[in-house]
């Protein structure tokens, strides 16, 4: 994808959705951290259903610890891998209290030191909570980056680095939200819905598809 295509690609996405946000529901940085931890291998819809009930009774590290493992598991048992996620959450809450005054840290190193928090989760927190121009590469972003030609790569880290290099600075803060939404609802894994994709004119996949079609 040429620099001109990249500029047009993101200008189009911005025009359609000027202020994109995560579809996870939260009202504090701690709630966002909990929601992102729970969202691994789970849908945002399923996480939101669980956290709507959970956050009423436990929306701080101290309250989460007071809830205890058994009760926490009851609130999140509809989410995949809930046993391990519950343990990670409680361990994280203890670290937040012991090392960070009960607050979610703002550095990547401190975030990734929390149980269950990898690079992608840290990027989400840094971006959505603190406005950092990070790129959280989930399965949707990875697929869109490779399929469109925006930032091809064999690993999430390769794609992340390529996206940070190729996306114009003016779009970086919101870019991962646009790419997630594009992959979730339009550029889907099994059948990309190119016929109603707003950025198809700037997509390498669309150009290759048209070029491979036999003349009528």
Where along the chain do its domains lie?
Answer: 3-20+135-212, 29-128
Superfamily of domain 29-128: Hypothetical protein; domain 2 (1.10.340.30)
Q: Which of 142, 98, 103, 104 is nearest to 125 (CA)?
A: 104
- The stretch 115-130 carries a mean pLDDT of 94
Q: 76 pLDDT exceeds 90?
A: yes
Annotated catalytic residue, options 71, 85, 138, 165: 138
Annotated catalytic residue, options 14, 120, 165, 208: 120
Report pLDDT digits (tens) over 172-210. 999 999 999 999 999 999 989 999 899 999 998 865 654
Q: Which residues contact 52 (CB under 8 A, 6 or more apart)?
A: 25
Q: What is the CATH number of domain 3-20+135-212?
A: 1.10.1670.10
- Confidence grade of residue 110 (pLDDT, cut at 50, 70, 90): very high
Q: Which pLDDT belongs to residue 1? A: 83
Report the mean per-residue pLDDT for the chain.
92
With beta carbons less than 8 A apart as the criterion, state whether 71 and 50 touch.
no
Helix or strand run (H / E) with residue 159: helix 156-166
Report pLDDT digits (tens) over 142-173. 999 999 999 999 999 999 999 999 999 999 99
Question: Cα dist. 162→1, 2, 135, 197 in Å?
Answer: 12, 13, 10, 23
- The stretch 38-56 carries a mean pLDDT of 94
Q: 216 pLDDT exceeds 60?
A: no
Residue 47: phi and psi, rounded to 5, are -65, -45
Kindly state the DSSP code that residue 78 receives in the 8-state scheme: T
204 is catalytic: no
With pLDDT > 70 as the criterion, what percentage of the chain qualifies? 95
Q: Is 29 helix (H, G, I), strand (E, B) or coil?
A: helix
With beta carbons less than 8 A apart as the criterion, state whether 29 and 104 touch.
yes
70 is catalytic: no
């Amino acid at each position: 994808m040429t620099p001109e295509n990249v500029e047009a690609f993101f200008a189009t996405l911005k025009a359609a959705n000027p202020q994109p946000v995560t579809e996870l529901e939260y009202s504090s940085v701690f709630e966002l951290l909990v929601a992102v931890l729970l969202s691994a291998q789970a849908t945002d819809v399923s996480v939101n259903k669980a956290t709507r009930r959970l956050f009423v009774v436990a929306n701080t590290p101290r309250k989460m610890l007071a809830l205890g493992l058994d009760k926490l598991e009851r609130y999140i048992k509809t989410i995949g891998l809930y046993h391990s996620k519950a343990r990670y959450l409680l361990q994280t809450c203890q670290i937040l209290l012991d090392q960070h005054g009960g607050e979610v840290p703002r550095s990547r190193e401190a975030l990734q030191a929390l149980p269950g928090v990898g690079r992608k989760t840290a990027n989400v927190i840094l971006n959505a909570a603190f406005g950092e121009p990070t790129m959280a590469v989930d399965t949707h972003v990875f697929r869109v980056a490779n399929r469109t030609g925006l930032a091809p790569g064999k690993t999430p880290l390769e794609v992340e680095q390529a996206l940070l290099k190729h996306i114009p600075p003016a779009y970086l803060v919101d870019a991962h939200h646009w790419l997630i939404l594009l992959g979730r609802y339009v550029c889907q894994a099994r059948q990309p819905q190119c016929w109603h994709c707003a950025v198809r004119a700037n997509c390498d996949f669309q150009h290759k598809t048209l070029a491979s079609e036999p003349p009528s």
